[in-house]
Amino acid sequence: MKRTFLKLSLFPAIAAGLMGCSKMTDNELIMYRIPDVPLVVTFPPERVSTRAAELGGLILSTGGGTITESGIYIYATGNAAIPGQSPSGRFNEKRISQLAAEGVFSVEVRNLMSNTTYNYRAFATNESGTAYGEMKVLVTSYGTVNDNEGNQYQTIKINNQVWMRENLRSGKYTDGTSIKGNCDSPDELTFGKYYSWQAVQGISPEITVNKNICPDGWHVPGDEEWKDLLKSAGVPDDQLGKTGQIGTDQAIRLKDSGSDYWKSELINNSTGFSALPAGVCRDTEGTPSIQAGFWTSTPYVYYGFQSGSEKIIREIEPANDSGFSVRCVQN
């Protein structure tokens, strides 16, 4: 790392004291070294709700100085969350962390506005000044909804649709009967359950009337509703009815930006949809080609996301041997 040294000509007393020395030692040079500004990384948002989020960063280097302050600068649009919208950059406020050295720090930010897009970045200050991490996007939730087992889900409004921001993890239909044809995920609280298409539709030999897998007032979105979502995220109209990979890079606006998940710096989750790599449940052997799959209510149509690609998958699964995630949409 480049270091800047004091010029002796600016400090005559010091210079005079050193005139008799034929050579300064390394230790003597270090005494007159000006520290660099710190090196800071901004982390993606965590634990996002309607009015709060956990924001943080990492001080990779103190710059050779002493950290006197670190935390988060927040910039607000003041507008409802609109896919692809860039905040105006208007400074809102500064939140201070407790960290005073190198390492990870976080700040629990409260009193935010619901359904609003914010920009934020980490900062750290030492004797030489303040350094900033990369700007990140935070979209607060629209509200919450509970299923009949008491599970609560964050929701997000994307244009005229209100979606669950989390995968369904209910084990019962709205009438209280158990859902058959689902399998548990390794981390159900984070990733939800996997459901067969028959389970999503409430179809089985014992059921004569289709049952609703979603909470009251919500339903499994159809193919057209998914198309509306993808159109909101920027997928071109001429791509929406195709199968296979569609769009260009619109998955960056739909995938969760948390560093523990997709591992791509391009992802900004600017819609707030927060798709996670929950995996899929299959009866057949082999590695699945998608890391997240979502059923629609349209027969056997599903949507998927991959690691290493920011296109979106739209396919039909006639074999019907897969367990996928479910996101519900408000009626």
Q: Distance (Å, rounded) from C-alpha 205 to C-alpha 198?
A: 10
Q: Are 115 and 140 in contact (CB under 8 A)?
A: yes
Q: What is the pLDDT of residues 220-252, one digit of tens each?
A: 999 999 999 999 999 999 999 899 999 999 999
Range of the domain at 259: 143-330
In the chain the first and final C-alpha atoms are separated, in Å, by 57
Locate 313 and state its tokens. Answer: 């998958």
Residue 37: pLDDT band by 50, 70, 90 thresholds?
A: very high
Q: What is the pLDDT of residues 157-200, one digit of tens each?
A: 999 999 999 999 999 999 888 888 777 777 898 999 999 888 88
Together in a domain, 120 and 207? no
Together in a domain, 194 and 238? yes
Locate 102 and state its tokens. Answer: 């190198």
Q: What is the DSSP secondary-structure string of 27-84? A: HHHHHTEEPPPPEEEEPPPBS--SS-EEEEEEEEE-TTS---EEEEEEEEEEEE--TT
Q: Are 83 and 271 in contact (CB under 8 A)?
A: yes
Say which CATH number the domain at 133 has. 2.60.40.10
Together in a domain, 192 and 57? no
Q: Which residue has the tokens 């996002």?
A: 48
Q: Is 230 helix (H, G, I), strand (E, B) or coil?
A: helix
Q: Is 302 helix (H, G, I), strand (E, B) or coil?
A: strand
For the cut 80, the answer to whether the pLDDT of residue 80 exceeds it is no
Q: Which residue has the tokens 């669950």?
A: 164
Residue 181: its pLDDT value, please?
A: 72
Average pLDDT, the chain: 83
Together in a domain, 235 and 172? yes
Together in a domain, 301 and 239? yes
In percent, the amount of the chain with pLDDT more than 90 equals 57
Q: Distance (Å, rounded) from C-alpha 106 to C-alpha 109?
A: 9
Q: Distance (Å, rounded) from C-alpha 283 to C-alpha 109?
A: 43
Give the pTM.
0.82
Together in a domain, 173 and 244? yes
Q: How far is CA 218 from the centre of its chain?
A: 24
Give me the phi and psi of 51, to 5 degrees please. -125, 0
The sign of the torsion formed by the CA atoms of 299, 269, 291, 174 equals negative
Q: Distance (Å, rounded) from C-alpha 170 to C-alpha 58?
A: 36
Together in a domain, 96 and 198? no
Q: Distance (Å, rounded) from C-alpha 261 to C-alpha 20?
A: 61
Together in a domain, 84 and 206? no
Our count of domains for the chain comes to: 3
Mean pLDDT of 210-226: 93
Residue 59: its pLDDT value, please?
A: 95
Locate 147 and state its tokens. Answer: 């299923």
Together in a domain, 77 and 159? no
Together in a domain, 253 and 132? no
Residue 88: pLDDT band by 50, 70, 90 thresholds?
A: very low
Nearest alpha carbon to residue 252 among 191, 311, 165, 164? 311
**46-50, 259-263, 301-305 — which is least confidently predicted?**
259-263
Q: Which residue has the tokens 């399998």?
A: 183
Q: What is the pLDDT of residues 246-270, one digit of tens each?
A: 999 999 999 999 867 888 888 999 9
Together in a domain, 96 and 201? no
The sign of the torsion formed by the CA atoms of 319, 324, 327, 331 equals positive
Q: Answer with the residue of higher pLDDT: 299 or 83.
A: 299
Together in a domain, 180 and 109? no
* Final residue belonging to a domain, choices 117, 139, 161: 139
